[in-house]
A = this chain, B = another copy of it.
Amino acid sequence: MSKTRQLEPLFYPKSIAVIGATNKKDKIGHIIFSRLKHSGARLFPVHPKEAEIMGVPAYPDVAALPEKIDLAITTISADKTVSVIKACAAHGVKAAIIIASGFGEIGEEGKKLEEELKAIHDEYGLEILGPNTLGIFLPETGLDTIFVEHGDKALAGGGSIAFITQSGSVGTEALGVASNTGYGMRAFVGLGNKILLNETDFLEYFYEDKQVNCIAIYAESIDDGKVFLEKAKKIAKEKAIIVLKAGRSAAGQHAVSSHTGKLAGSDRVVNGAFHQYGIQRAFDEEEICDASKTLSMLPLPKGNRVAVITAAGGYGVMCTDYIEQKYPRAELKMAELNNKTREKISEINLSFASSHNPIDITASATDQMYVDTLDTVLSDSGVDIVICFVFFSPPGFSEDLIDLVAQRVKNSRKPIIVFTEFGPYTDGLLKKFYDRGVVGFSSIYRTVRAVRFLEERSRIVRNLGGNGND
């Protein structure tokens, strides 16, 4: 599986045939075809009877297609798929995405179909993504084969994360929520049953893609673990790799009913291997989104010393507890501010503010006090990372703080990460931060966890001798 794949036709097809395209609304072939109209590729619907699909001339079968085709997308049922894929291969189609389920995941009969598909690949070289996959979404070009609701407007903003997932729902449902507060995706790849193309192939592909700086993978099995790890180690010098390997527990593994990759088995082995090869682990759908968002947007810290600025004392205390208790899986510590920094903070703020880290500027502070304090903390050489608790209910704070903090995020070589919450406005405020390049969360736990990923990544880069995002 380690030969180099030709994946350009999959991501940048000049021509796409859609076998199963239909004028019947609510059908998958209709949803996908209508989405592809925005992809910029020449479209060739294939339909046995219709003369046109949504105004585009249709062809009765694959053999009738008038030119060489880069990518075929099939939405027809499993039993009809093999013969159509064979016809595609014979016609010179370079790559195919097979959407239908009903293959290996249902049992022996489906596995037999998969073997036939592999044989077609072996004979003709046609690359196959799937079957049983949501396919590809590339916000840059508008290529989009995802047929379920996926918050596409939000995700279409683009970014530098490649999100590769063995489970369609993990991709769409989790990313749909992540996009509420901002999530920048370069590409989405649904692996499906991955009879040919797998996580390693796309890892390698996105290594070459200069617009990608972070690769997030949800996997229930990893094919050919050794090759995967070796490639990951090389790539992790330059790009963050986060893997959510589901099926950690015995019962979880049992639930992973399909293929068992070579990395399955002891979760301790997976953990050790990932650590050694520079892969960062996530354990749930929210964590993989939070981690990839953070790693794709922020510079890496030079060390693990965190300063916390808050206008609400209790939040500073809880955050300090998480940082100092090395939880969750953190190697962070509270920065010790130098005397000059502390004096300056005292000058900036009201007499009852605390200049000790966590710095509590109190709910009587103003926007100006906030950013002056932030600037002071950033200039302290004993600080590697700053967590900013930003509240909007105290009367001295306004939404101007969003821009003011964003300026510091933009100009600082130290990572700054924001916590904010304000009742029903919470997600909207986080989205405003995101739109200005600021990573933010509305839970202390998630905020510290995101910082942990940054710090872990900086250690990985140092250990591997790489250069990270810089």
Task: Give A residues with C-beta under 8 Å from B.
Answer: 26, 101-102, 105-106, 148-151, 154, 165-167, 169-170, 172-174, 176-177, 179-180, 218, 220, 244, 246-252, 254-257, 283-287, 311-318, 320-325, 334, 351-352, 354, 356-358, 360, 363, 391, 393-395, 421-424, 426-427, 442-445
Which of B167, B169, B247, B363 is A391 in contact with, Cβ under 8 Å? B169
Which of B317, B323, B423 is A151 in contact with, Cβ under 8 Å? B423
22 A-B interface contacts by CB (under 8 A): A101-B352, A148-B394, A149-B393, A170-B312, A170-B314, A172-B393, A173-B312, A174-B421, A176-B422, A179-B423, A180-B423, A180-B424, A246-B318, A249-B325, A252-B324, A255-B313, A255-B356, A255-B360, A283-B322, A284-B318, A285-B443, A285-B444
Which of B255, B334, B442 is A177 in contact with, Cβ under 8 Å? B442
* Residues in B whose Cβ lies below 8 Å from that of A248: 321, 324-325
Contacting pair A255 B317 (CB below 8 A): yes
Contacting pair A318 B424 (CB below 8 A): no
20 extra A-B contacts, CB within 8 A, seeds A218-B314, A252-B317:
A106-B352, A149-B393, A149-B423, A154-B424, A172-B393, A173-B315, A173-B422, A176-B422, A179-B423, A220-B314, A246-B314, A249-B321, A251-B324, A251-B357, A252-B318, A254-B356, A257-B354, A284-B322, A284-B443, A287-B445
Please give the count of copies of this chain that the complex contains.
2
| Chain B nearest CB, measured from A31 CB (Å) | 10
Most chain B beta carbons < 10 A, residue from A285, A322, A391: A285
| Chain B nearest CB, measured from A249 CB (Å) | 3
Q: How far is the CA of A351 from the CA of B177 in the complex (A)?
A: 31
Contacting pair A423 B312 (CB below 8 A): no
Q: How far is the CA of A148 from the CA of B396 in the complex (A)?
A: 12
* Residues in B whose Cβ lies below 8 Å from that of A244: 318
* Residues in B whose Cβ lies below 8 Å from that of A352: 101-102, 105-106
* Residues in B whose Cβ lies below 8 Å from that of A105: 352
